[in-house]
Amino acid sequence: MSSAFGKDVWRTVAHGWKRFVSIMIITALGVTMATGLKAACVDLRLSADAFFDEQNLYDVSVVSTLGLTDDDVAAISNDVDGVWRVVGGYGEEVAIDVNGGRSKADVTALDDGGMNEPRIIDGRLPRTDRETVTTAAYLKDTGARIGDTVSFGDPVSTGASSEEDAETEELFARHAYTIVGTVIDPADINNTEGATAFRNDSSKAPYDFYVTRSAVNESARDTYTAVYITVGGARDERAYDTAYTTLVDAVKTRIGDIQAERERARTDAVKADMNAEIDKEENKANRELADAQTSIDEARSRIDGQRTQLETQRSDLESALGGVSIDQAAQAGMQAAIQLQAAQTQLDDAQNTLDERQAEFNEKKASARRDIADARRKVDDIDAAQWYVRDRTALSGYASIDSDAKSIEAIGTAFPILFLIVAVLISLTAIARMVEEERGLIGTYKALGYRRREILVKYMVYAGLACLSGGLLGDLLGFVALPEIIFTIFETMYLLPGFSLHFDWLYGIGAVLLFVAVIVGSAVWACRGELRLAPAALMRPKAPKAGKTILLERIRPLWSRMSFLNKVTARNLFRYKARAFMTIAGIAGCTMLLMCGFAIRDSVVMLSPNQYGGVTAYDLMAVTSDDDHESAMKSLRGDDAVKDVLGVRIDSASLSVAGSGGTTADEGRGQEENVQLIVVPEGADIDDYIHLREAQSDWSAAMGGGSAVRLSDSGVAITKNAQQMLGLDVGGIAHIKDSTLHGADAPVNAVVENYLGNSVFMTQRLYERLYGDYHANAMLAHLDGDPAAQIRFCDRLAHAGEYLSVTSTAELVRDFTKNFTLINTVVYVLLVLAGALAFVVLFTLSTTNISERERELATIKVLGFKRREVRRYVNKEMIILTLIGVAFGLPLGRLAGEGLTMVLRMPSIYFAVHVQWLSYVISGVLSLVFAVLVTFVTNRMLDRIDMVGALKSPE
């Protein structure tokens, strides 16, 4: 390229800076959208991965219904390939006092090797068996500080009978623990007060404590509550990536190979231990019974001897009396007869006492035999040990990060395509106009001997520079600015200690190159026609388009009543068809983006009224222990603030698709969803408290729920989001695992409406068939008073000793907005970018229109058109085209919103598409506002048109 030709390239950039800036901004917006949302999600995952690696979070965990032992740890360590480290862990859910009320807490023993180590925020980790650390939630709720003490209460009931609970051994020593630090639990990074608060299960312990292993009672150290496994090489991979998942899944599969054997071994060991204990107790009882029987027999022998002596004395006395009876002699006052009769009475009393002792002994012996037989039957009835092998996805915080990121990435994948399409349209229009303006210059180059390829390079460089400049700006905004904005929301959602920025060279450069390729390709396409012409044809002015009769002219009554300017406007709209199409398409695309953003926003806003107005009808949900339920029910029924109350059973559970063959391992079941298990007592109607309605399809959900669903004893009802996440349809078999790790399979009879949270509903009879005895432990109630009064009542109730958790519907409604800050922020970013794109599109098309018609506009100015008339002459066309683009964009945006909300599948949230009529108005008005704003800029261009220079330009 010659220096003169190079100077001309830069001169073209300087002369056509408006087009250059427009292409640059469009590229920057597209690259920002393509990289920003994805970069924020990648940064979130990488920040979480770094945190998990620093805290040595496990890759796989194994829990068992009968606990785990050192033999299980050794088997996993020695017999499973790919295992790097195996650690047995201790954990217990206990009652705890919080501000005079009763709550729950999870107490965990720290691993001396640092696995699952909590992150220290303040203070230090415990060093003795009388120290503990806790999460910030406990300190905030209680006002406690480092240095204060805390005591743990009894183990929290897990749904077993009271008798079994009474026999539950305390895992940790019960004494005062000194709080020495505040930590973040790496296994629970959801912020209970942030944007993910709605996901928290009311049955989950709200507080976490960590103690040293020395705090575990000596008698409980032989059995672990869980085994944690680190997979070899997993730390070198990124969490959530396919490589990491593949490594972990392979180890889970190998654990499954030894699972059945270890389950049998544990079951046999537990039964053997229990039988040995029973044998020991039986032997002890037999010895005691034998000793008691010997004592009775000895006493009986003594009585028999005494009776023989007494009979001899009686015979001797009667012989001495010469036939007088003992009774007569006693009545006559004979001392010997009286003594003999008294001895007989004492002997009879002793015999009666001995007979009573024998009867009592026989009863105790029979009772002991029954107890031993019952104990042996219980041992025989013990369910076989069941292992549950789970990876990190079983942790709600870990899974939420991935699902939230995927939902945001769904937006970040769809919208750049729209930006790219608009960029192609605008670049085609802009560069095609620039080529047309430089027809004479192109002809001169060709006449001077420049080849077509060399001339084409000029426009390729022009478009390429604009794209590269915009791409660099877009990468800067996408990898730095936009993630920083979204990080402020992530900080309220997750308890991660920090977020780090990462630049993905492949993705960042790829996004830029994509826009460069497309827009430079558009420049090549725009130039190809002109470059085929001969130099002489290029140097001559291009013949104007021939006028044609338009459709409106054939409608004589309408055409005859139109003003001159309206007729000219109508002709111009049909005359410049390509420009009209570009304008309509650009405005339609921008309006579609705006409309889609509002559709997502409206769908989020409607979650609260849909859930708390359409599904949840109760004002209060309170959970107690099994033992406290009856007294709590009586107290609520007698409270004037309570209208009515229903007792139910509520438990935390996990839901998955039942595996083939009824296997209890998590392998093969796929994904699990944390759910709330709600059991309706026999004869009760839950419809007054929770409206169970048949869930509609994604496309018809906005029309409202379906028919009412009645629970039956043959199956369960699950919520819509759980059905979507698991692919578990009506007729499928669900595997439901309660908080005691007791898993059972049940058919899915219905999928019901629910928007926030996931639940499984079943009847009491079905629960008893699947899990055993039914014990109510929760209440649903309607309250009197306004929302503020209801919240105050629930706060007061939460401090009562009987309640483990109290949930106020009014408080959930009040705090709803902050729970969805993330989605709203993404939507607002989308709206800003869409608005900026709309402005750039309108500005580019308007300036191109003016440049294209400069001689025409100069002519009408010479003919006497005033400044206002010239402006109206041009702006009217733009407004009409904008209105047409809006008319096409609104329904397209509604359809795009349908598609995006379908892919926005987040745990515990079901998005049903709702679009308010005001959103249609705002989207259309915004596009028109941008059009009007552009007219203020282009009006100055119209005013500065040089009439003489424009009319002499062909010369």
In terms of domains, do 472 and 369 share one?
Answer: no
Residue 252 in any domain: the answer is no
Q: How sure is the predictor about 183, in pLDDT bands with cuts at 50, 70 and 90?
A: very high
Which two tokens mark 630? 């009856």
The answer to the question of residue 626 being in a domain is: no
For the chain, the straight-line distance linking the first and the last C-alpha, in angstroms and rounded, comes to 29
In three-state secondary structure terms, 253 is helix
How far is residue 874's CA from residue 852's CA, in Å, rounded to a whole number?
12
Half-sphere exposure of 76 (CA within 13 A, CB side): 30
In one-letter notation, the amino acid at residue 410 is: A
User: What would you report as the CA-atom Rg of the chain, rounded to the nearest whole angstrom?
Assistant: 42
The pLDDT assigned to 668 comes to 37
CA 324 to chain centre: 103
Query: What residues make up the domain containing 473?
Result: 403-543
- Using the predicted structure, report yes or no on whether residue 544 has a pLDDT greater than 80: no
Whether residue 666 is predicted with pLDDT greater than 50 in this model: the reply is no
Q: Determine whether 515 is exposed, middle or buried from the number of CB atoms within 10 Å of its CB (0-12, 13-18, 19+).
A: buried
Q: Which residues pair with 122 in a beta bridge?
A: 182
- CA–CA separation, 510 and 26 (whole Å): 16
357 with 450, same domain? no
Choose the final residue of a domain: 783, 808, 832: 783
Look at residue 199 in the predicted model and tell me its pLDDT.
56
The band of 57, judged by pLDDT with boundaries at 50, 70 and 90, is: very high
Helix intervals (H) in 477-543: 482-493, 505-531, 535-539
- Which of 38-47, 277-286, 323-332, 577-586 has the weakest average pLDDT? 323-332
**In angstroms, rounded to a whole number, what is the distance separating the alpha carbons of residues 899 and 881?**
27
Amino acid found at 903: V
Burial of residue 852 (number of CB atoms within 10 Å: 0-12, 13-18, 19+) = middle
642-657 vs 778-783, strand pairing mode = antiparallel
Q: Judge whether 93 and 158 are in contact, CB under 8 Å.
A: yes
Q: Is residue 97 part of a domain?
A: yes
Residues 646 and 779 in one domain: yes
Strands of 60-64's sheet, edge to edge?
A: 83-89, 226-231, 60-64, 387-391
Crossing angle of the two packed helices 396-437 and 17-54, in degrees rounded to 10: 160
Q: What is the pLDDT of residue 159?
A: 42
Band (704; pLDDT cuts 50, 70, 90):
low
Structure tokens at 307: 């009776």
Reported as a single tens digit per residue, the pLDDT across 513-541 is: 888 888 888 788 878 777 887 887 777 77
> Is 82 in contact with 232 (CB distance < 8 Å)?
yes
Comparing CA positions, the residue from 392, 406, 419 lying closest to residue 822 is 406
Q: How many domains would you assign to the chain?
A: 4
| Residue that is last in its domain, among 741, 759, 783 | 783
- What is the rounded distance in angstroms from the CA atom of residue 890 to the CA atom of residue 579? 21
Name the nearest CA neighbour of 108 among 73, 141, 61. Answer: 61
Residue 176 is predicted with a pLDDT of: 92
CA atoms within a 13 Å half-sphere pointing along the CA-CB vector of 510:
8
Per 3-state DSSP, what percentage of the chain is helix, strand, and coil (rounded to 5)?
60, 15, 25
Place of tokens 């027999």: 297
Q: Are 48 and 239 in contact (CB under 8 A)?
A: yes
CA distance 426 to 837: 11
Give the integer Cα–Cα distance in Å for 649 and 667: 29
- For residues 813, 814, 820, 821, the Cα torsion angle rounded to the nearest 10 degrees is 170
pLDDT digits (tens, 9 = 90+) for 137-169: 899 888 899 999 999 988 875 443 334 444 457
Q: Is the dihedral of CA 842, 843, 844, 845 positive or negative?
A: positive
Q: Are residues 105 and 205 in the same domain?
A: yes
Share of the chain above pLDDT 70, in %: 88
**Per-residue DSSP letter, 774:** -
**Contact in structure between 329 and 317 (CB atoms under 8 Å):** yes
Mean pLDDT of 472-482: 89
Residue 695's pLDDT is 84
Q: Are residues 360 and 410 in the same domain?
A: no
For residue 574, give the H/E element and its range. helix 564-575
Give mean pLDDT, residues 759-772: 92
pLDDT at 768 over 60: yes
Residue 906 phi/psi, 5-degree rounding, is -115, 150
**Does any domain span residue 46?**
no
DSSP H helical ranges for 321-334? 326-331
Same domain, yes or no, for 349 and 460? no
Query: What's the rounded mean pLDDT across residues 869-893?
Result: 86
Task: Give exposure, 727-752, as e/b (b: 16+ Cβ within 10 Å).
Answer: ebeeebebbbbbbebbbbebebbbbb
State how far the Cα of 734 lies from the Cα of 760, in Å rounded to an integer. Answer: 10
**Is residue 566 a part of any domain in this protein?**
no
pLDDT (tens digit per residue) in 570-581: 877 777 777 788
Strand partners, 135: 183
Q: Residue 464 is encoded by which pair of tokens?
A: 């390429």
Q: Are residues 653 and 739 in the same domain?
A: yes
Contact between 839 and 934 under an 8 Å Cβ cutoff? The reply is yes
Q: Are 351 and 344 in contact (CB under 8 A)?
A: no
Cα distances from 162 to residues 158, 625, 626, 769, 797, in angstroms, run 10, 10, 8, 19, 24
Same domain, 212 and 182: yes
489 and 371 belong to one structural domain = no
427 and 514 share one domain? yes
Question: What pLDDT, in 10s, does the model give residues 604-619?
Answer: 788 888 888 889 999 9
Please indicate, yes or no, whether residues 664 and 699 belong to a single structural domain of this protein. yes
Highest-scoring range by mean pLDDT, 167-176, 386-395, 598-607: 386-395
pLDDT at 163: 40
How open is the CA angle 161-162-164, to the nearest 5 degrees?
70
Can you read off the two tokens belonging to residue 788?
A: 């503020």
34-55 pLDDT, tens digit each: 888 888 888 999 999 999 999 9
Asked whether the predicted pLDDT for residue 665 surpasses 50, the reply is: no
- For residues 478 and 36, the answer to whether their CB atoms sit within 8 Å is yes
Q: Which one-letter amino acid corresponds to residue 366?
A: A
Q: Check whether residue 410 and residue 352 sit in a common domain.
A: no
Is residue 314 in a domain?
Answer: yes
Q: Which is it for strands 716-719 and 743-752: parallel, antiparallel or unpaired?
A: parallel
Name the DSSP class of 238.
Answer: P
42-64 burial, b for 16+ CB within 10 Å, e for fewer?
A: bbbbbbbbbbbeebbbbbbbbbb
What pLDDT sits at residue 328?
63
Which burial class, exposed, middle or buried, applies to 478 when counting CB atoms under 10 A from its CB (0-12, 13-18, 19+)?
A: buried
pLDDT per position as a tens digit, 795-827: 888 777 678 788 888 888 887 766 666 667 777
pTM of the model: 0.73
Q: Cβ neighbours of residue 633 under 8 Å, at least 6 residues apart?
A: 645, 647, 776, 779
Cα(718)–Cα(729) distance, integer angstroms: 9
Stretch (H or E) spanning 228: strand 226-231
Residue at 378 is within a domain: yes
Grouping H, G, I as helix, E, B as strand and the rest as coil, residue 186 is coil
Given a cut of 90, whether residue 681 has pLDDT beyond it is yes
Of 385, 411, 426, the domain-final residue = 385
Distance CA 775, CA 743 (A): 18
**Is the pLDDT assigned to residue 108 strictly greater than 50?**
yes
pLDDT above 70: residue 697: no
Q: Residue 634, CB half-sphere, CA atoms under 13 Å: how many?
A: 6
pLDDT single digits (tens) 624-663: 888 888 888 988 988 888 999 999 999 888 888 886 333 3
Q: Tell me which range, 182-186, 274-278, 295-299, 830-834, is most confidently predicted by mean pLDDT.
A: 182-186
Residue 949: its pLDDT value, please? 64
Domain-embedded: residue 930: no
